[in-house]
Amino acid sequence: MEEIVLKPIGIVKNNVKEARLGGFAKEVSEIIIDEKFAESLKGIEDYSHIIVVYWMDRIKDYVITHRPQGNPEVPIVGIFACRCPQRPNPIAISTVKLLRHERNKIVVEGLDTLDGTPVIDIKPYWPQYDKVKNEKVPKWVGKLKF
């Protein structure tokens, strides 16, 4: 396969300095976008939620199978059957509440990432594409910390 090259469009600023399990629901983060993309945020304030795509740059290796959060109450599953960070390409997404937009900065609530994490894309939340009905997830997901 051909190599893919990604370039960050911005960086996350928050108070989360080291990895932790859960507790991000009320975490407030700033996403500082490169000045050359500032105009790309025009109209973003009209949305209540956005989807942040970011690169988990501190993940150095991947696994094929994993026990989510190391929780002995959940099964070992394939890395593509969980939201664990040790992925072949450490790309992550989070749907977060947009609090405000100021020039090349957006402030969000609920972003589950570390200070300094590179952001590779931002998308508005559109229920037509992003909301699902009759979703199904394994029962063990309810045993994880969020």
- What are the pLDDT tens digits along the chain (146 aa)? 899 999 999 999 999 888 777 677 788 999 999 999 999 999 999 999 999 999 999 999 999 999 999 999 999 999 999 999 999 999 999 999 999 999 999 999 999 999 999 999 999 999 999 999 999 999 999 988 77
Measured between alpha carbons, how far is 48 from 109 in angstroms, rounded to an integer?
11
In a domain, 85, yes or no: yes
Residue 108, φ and ψ in degrees, nearest 5 = -130, 160
pLDDT digits (tens, 9 = 90+) for 20-47: 776 777 889 999 999 999 999 999 999 9
In a domain, 135, yes or no: no
Count of domains for the chain? 1
In a domain, 55, yes or no: yes
In a domain, 43, yes or no: yes
In a domain, 136, yes or no: no
If you ran DSSP here, which 8-state letter would residue 115 be given? Answer: T
Predicted TM-score of the model (pTM): 0.91
Q: Can you give the residue range of the structural domain that contains 29?
A: 10-130
If you ran DSSP here, which 8-state letter would residue 117 be given? Answer: P
Residue 35: which CATH number? Answer: 2.40.30.70
Q: Is residue 53 a contact partner of residue 91, using CB atoms and an 8 Å limit?
A: yes
